[in-house]
Amino acid sequence: MSATFALFGVLIAPVLQALFVLALQRPPGLRDVMHIGFALATAICAARLVGAAADGEMVRIALAQPLPNVALAFVVEPLGALVAATIGGLGFLHAVHSAGIVRATQEKAPARLMAFMALASGATMAVAFSANLFTFFVAYQVLTLCVFPLVAHRGDEEARRAGRTFLATLLTASMGLFLPAMIWTYAIAGALDFQPGGVLAGRVDALTANILLVLFVLGLAMAAMPPLHRWLPESSRAPDPALVTIQGVAILPAGGVGLIKVAAFVFGPALATAQFAAYGLIALAGVSMCVAALIALSRQDVRERLAYSCMAQSLAVVLGVLVALPMGLFAAALQIVALACSATTLTMAVGTTGAITTRRTVADYAGLGRVMPWTFAGFALAAASMIGMPPFSGAWAKLWLITATAGAGLVWAAALVGAAAVLTFAHLGPLAANTLAGKAPTDAFKRPDGASILLAAPVILSAAATLWLLVMADPLSSFLAPIWSDGR
Amino acid sequence: MGAYVELARAHAPLLMMSTAFAAAVLATLSPPRVSWVIACGGALLSAVFAFDLALRLLLGGGEFAFLVEAVALETDGVTIFGAALLSFASVAALVAAGAQLGDYEKRAAPFALALALMVQAAWIGALGARDLIGLFVAVETAWLAAVALLALSAERSAQNGAMRMLSAGGVGAALFLAGAALIYHATGALDLPRIAAAHIEMADAAALGAGLIVLSIALKAGVAPLHEWLGAGFSRANGLAAIVIGAVGVTGALAVLVRLAGYFAQAPAMGDGVSIALALLGGASVVIGSLQAVGATNLRRLAAYAGAAQAGGILLCVALGSPAGVAAALIQLTALVATALALFGGAAAGGVRTLDGLDGLGRRAPLAGAAIMTGAISLMGAPLTLGFLGRWRLVEAGVGAGWWWAAGAVIFASLAGVFYGGRLIERLYFRRAGEVYLGGAGAWRFATAPLLIAAIVVTMLGIAPGLLLQAADAAAAHLLGAAA
**Mean pLDDT of the residues in chain B:** 86
pTM, 2 dp: 0.86
Residue type, A479: F
Residue A474: which residues within 8 A CB-CB, separation 6 or more?
Answer: none
Across the strands, what pairs with A62?
A: A73
Alpha-carbon gap: A337 to the closest alpha carbon of chain B (Å): 29
CA-based R_g, chain A, Å? 21
Q: Kindly compute the dihedral angle of the four CA atoms of residues B433, A141, A166, B364, in this order, to the nearest 10 degrees.
A: 0
Give the chain B residue nearest A169 (alpha carbons).
Answer: B418
Query: CA-to-CA distance for B180 and B93, rounded, in angstroms?
Result: 33
Region B256-278: mean pLDDT is 86
A152/B466 touch (CB, cutoff 8 Å), yes or no = no
Residue from B386, B392, B461 to probe the interface with A (highest A Cβ count within 10 Å): B392
Q: Is the dihedral of CA A400, A403, A408, A411 positive or negative?
A: positive
- The 10s digit of each residue's pLDDT in A380-391 is 999 999 998 888
Query: CA-to-CA distance for B3 and B161, rounded, in angstroms?
Result: 48
Task: Please tell me which of the candidates B396, B407, B426 has its beta carbon nearest to residue A160.
Answer: B426
- The 10s digit of each residue's pLDDT in B367-384 is 888 889 888 988 888 888
Closest listed residue to residue B452, CA positions, set B369, B357, B391: B369
Residue A35: which residues within 8 A CB-CB, separation 6 or more?
Answer: A17, A21, A95, A98, A99, A114, A118
Q: Chain B contact for A62, CB < 8 A?
A: no
Q: Chain A contact for B437, CB < 8 A?
A: no
Q: Chain A contact for B362, CB < 8 A?
A: no
B430/A141 touch (CB, cutoff 8 Å), yes or no = no
Poorest-pLDDT segment among A176-190, A275-289, A426-440, B430-444: B430-444
Residue type, B74: E
B21 touches B117 (CB < 8 A): yes
Chain A environment of B379 (Cβ under 8 Å): none
Determine the 3-state secondary structure of A97 from DSSP.
Answer: helix
Q: How confident is the model at residue B435 (pLDDT cuts 50, 70, 90)?
A: low
- The 10s digit of each residue's pLDDT in B396-408 is 888 777 888 888 8
DSSP B266-333: HSHHHHHHHHHHHHHHHHHHHHHHHHHHHH--BHHHHHHHHHHHHHHHHHHHHHT-SHHHHHHHHHHH
B383/A141 touch (CB, cutoff 8 Å), yes or no = yes
Task: Please tell me which of the candidates A65, A137, A183 has its beta carbon nearest to residue B407.
Answer: A183
- The 10s digit of each residue's pLDDT in B88-118 is 999 999 998 888 777 788 888 899 999 999 9
Cβ burial, residue A475 (10 Å; 0-12/13-18/19+): exposed
Region A334-350: mean pLDDT is 93
Neighbours of B125 (CB within 10 A): 28
pLDDT at site B43: 93
Region A174-179: mean pLDDT is 90
B245 touches B237 (CB < 8 A): yes
Task: Please tell me which of the candidates B384, B414, B429 has its beta carbon nearest to residue A175.
Answer: B414
Region B337-353: mean pLDDT is 86
Give the chain A residue nearest B468 (alpha carbons).
Answer: A66
Q: How confident is the model at residue B123 (pLDDT cuts 50, 70, 90)?
A: very high
pLDDT at site A296: 93
Q: Kindly compute the dihedral angle of the four CA atoms of residues B73, B74, B78, B82, in this order, to the nearest 10 degrees.
A: 10
pLDDT at site A449: 62
The answer to whether residue A312 scores a pLDDT higher than 70 is yes
Neighbours of A444 (CB within 10 A): 18
Sequence-ordered alpha helix ranges (H) in A358-452? 368-371, 373-387, 393-407, 411-437
Poorest-pLDDT segment among A237-246, A324-333, B32-41: A324-333
Across the strands, what pairs with A60?
A: A75
- The 10s digit of each residue's pLDDT in B173-224 is 999 999 999 999 888 888 888 888 877 778 788 889 999 999 999 999 999 8
Query: CA-to-CA distance for A223 and A401, rounded, in angstroms?
Result: 17
Alpha-carbon gap: B60 to the closest alpha carbon of chain A (Å): 20
Beta strands in A285-326 (DSSP E): none
pLDDT at site A487: 44
A171/B380 touch (CB, cutoff 8 Å), yes or no = yes
Q: Chain A contact for B421, CB < 8 A?
A: no
The answer to whether residue B453 scores a pLDDT higher than 80 is yes
pLDDT at site A253: 93
Cis peptide before B225 (omega within 30 of 0): yes
Chain A environment of B463 (Cβ under 8 Å): 64, 66, 72
Q: How far is CA B370 from CA B149, B252, B345, in A?
A: 28, 26, 11
A196 touches A264 (CB < 8 A): yes
Segments making up each domain of chain A, as ranges: 3-484
